[in-house]
Chains A and B, each alone.
Chain A
Amino acid sequence: MGTIYCWFESLFGQDLAEHLWGWDMSTQDYTKGNHFNSIGSVLVLVTLFMVVLFYYIINHPRFNHWWSWILVLIINSGMNFLYGWKLTLSDLSNNLISDDLMYIRDVTTNAIVTQKITESNCVNFGIANATLAAILFLIFSFMLRWWSRNCSTCPIPN
């Protein structure tokens, strides 16, 4: 899962990626647990649910239009954006990210030279999560739409 997220590493940064891989400064190893897997699992489940919701629960002729499909895709991406953003922001605000990933420090004085992970990295991770949610929504739609009674021709007619 992390490998897929790291297609967007240039967007949210190598250091945040290291944190999400589970880097722990005290053990000098990836022992904190792989956050990519947990975030990715939520993304898959939420997106799957949204696709099932659109094609089988809502499943209404009134929504058998590309724009309604787009609307649900945007809602799905928006929720995953919020999840990815707030989760990483929460780690940032609660000092759960290892100091060596957070800062470049002066080796002589221990003073902070640069903060490597900021709120913008968290926003960008949210964007990466939203983008992956959109891609997955598209894939699931093409996999699952065929058996929908009213929306099987959405977003593209057969």
Chain B
Amino acid sequence: MKILVWLLFFGVMLTSECFGQSGRKKPQISEPGIKSVSSSMQRPIYNIYLENSGSMNGYVNSQAEFKETVGNFLTDIEINNLADSINLNYINSKIIPIHSNIPNFINNLNPTSFSSAGGHITTTNISMMMKSILDKANDHSVCLFISDCVFSPEKKFTAQQYLVNQELEIKRNFAAKLDNYKLTTIVLQLSSKFEGAYFNCLNQTTQINAQRPYYIWVIGNQKFLTTLFEKVRKENFKGGGVRNFYSAFNTENAFDYGILNSPKLGYYNRDRTNPKNKIVDAQKEDKGVHKGNFQFSIGVNFKESLIDENYILDAKNYVLPANYTIEIVKNNITSLPYSHILKLTTTTLKTESVSIRFKNTLPGWIAEKNSDDDSKINTADQMSRTFGLKYFVEGIFEAYKTKNNNKETYFEINISVNQ
């Protein structure tokens, strides 16, 4: 009896030790979504360049969406304290500083102020304007270029010749700048009512009264642009919102990723010595409607890349082994440190290295919205297009690609799948 009492006492001691959790460290719990912001991070100077050539008059002839969008965007930059200072300029053949505050600048956007500001306003040389802007760009500034981006060919060239020359100039200028600065370039395509004369590739004018695209180009250090689009969400742009989006950046920064334990079909374990890249004990689903399928998921953080959401979600932009299919979903699970989940599924599971490559190509909308001949601008198809857009963007794309060692992909993830 004495012995049994002693055993019981020992049991109670052991159990109380386990209740007390002695000897085990309580892990630090970090609250997701809360970020510390470095107080030492300086705010950039915002240089705004609004094209004031004659082709822009149609956007400012009335209280169209153009003024509302540009005004709200600039105001949001100001009230969110994103800028150390904001310098307002018109741009055509030269940069023309406008000494005004944002409300007055927006209120004075009209053909009269455009023409009275000076400069050569009858033609549009985008590559020259871009060079002037790039000359002012540096690590401590953000440049905004607001333009219809419609090239106006000089008479000595054919339209095609002119566009090719412009593309080469833009590529050269950007490449030279990227040699010294790690700049990110973002293209926002927006739309506004256009009421006035449209200058086509033959320099003929057509009076139009319709919705026309225009563009805001944002050039600057990636951290400033990430902050800008965190504070001023492109989904919330006034005046019809952002129609399309493209970003070009230095891809040397790695995309954070990891194998997730769900969603999945079948069974697998992350390898404990290499949980980021290796799956072990992979087995197909053996029951239910998904019987015979194997699926694993990868979380990828695209958050700071500024790549267009539609581009990320398009399965066509990923290169995979032939036996796998991919589905990309936006992640709203706050506890996961990834912005998107890539679900990879196969019916032919085997031990192999699964390579997932995310292609770095121009988004489809660039070709869709490009026009090589805008002489018949009044057709519905041409009205939503921009003459020469493709050449402009391709020039920038090629410059970044060269600086990214001609890489065809944003990233390549290799997952070792082992049965």
Q: Which residues of A contact B (CB under 8 A)?
A: 14-15, 18, 21, 24-26, 28-30, 32-33, 35, 38, 46, 53, 58, 60, 72, 75, 78-79, 82-83, 86-87, 90, 94-96, 98-101, 104-110
Contact = CB atoms under 8 A, between A and B. Distances in A.
A82 B11 CA distance: 9
26 contacts: A15-B261, A18-B270, A21-B272, A25-B335, A25-B336, A28-B258, A28-B337, A29-B275, A30-B272, A53-B7, A58-B3, A79-B11, A86-B15, A87-B21, A90-B18, A98-B335, A100-B260, A100-B262, A101-B261, A104-B263, A105-B335, A107-B263, A107-B329, A107-B341, A109-B332, A110-B332
Contacts of A21: 272
A30 B15 contact: no
B390 to A, nearest CB: 35
A100 B275 contact: no
A53 B18 CA distance: 21
Question: Which of A29, A72, A78, A98 is most buried by chain B, counting CB atoms within 10 A of its CB?
Answer: A29
B366 to A, nearest CB: 29
A90 B19 contact: yes
Contacts of A105: 333, 335
Nearest to B24: A38
A79 B248 CA distance: 62
Closest 5 CB pairs of A and B: A99-B335, A28-B258, A83-B18, A105-B333, A86-B18
Given A28-B275, A86-B18, A90-B19, A100 B332 contact: no
A26 B24 contact: no
Given A26-B30, A101-B261, A107 B11 contact: no
Contact of B15 (A38, A79, A107): A79
Contacts of B267: 14
B26 interface: yes
B337 A26 contact: yes
Contacts of B11: 75, 78-79, 82
Contact of A38 (B7, B23, B263): B23
Contact of B261 (A33, A86, A100): A100
B14 A82 contact: yes
B269 interface: yes
A83 B26 contact: no
B415 to A, nearest CB: 14
B243 interface: no
Nearest to A21: B272
B210 to A, nearest CB: 37
A30 B275 contact: yes
Contacts of B15: 79, 82-83, 86
B27 A32 contact: yes
B11 to A, nearest CB: 5
B261 to A, nearest CB: 6
Interface string B384-412: 00000000000000000000000000000
Question: Which of B23, B25, B258, B261 is most buried by chain A, counting CB atoms within 10 A of its CB?
Answer: B261
Interface in B309-362: 329-337, 341
A108 B27 contact: no
Nearest to B260: A100
B330 A86 contact: no
Contacts of B270: 18
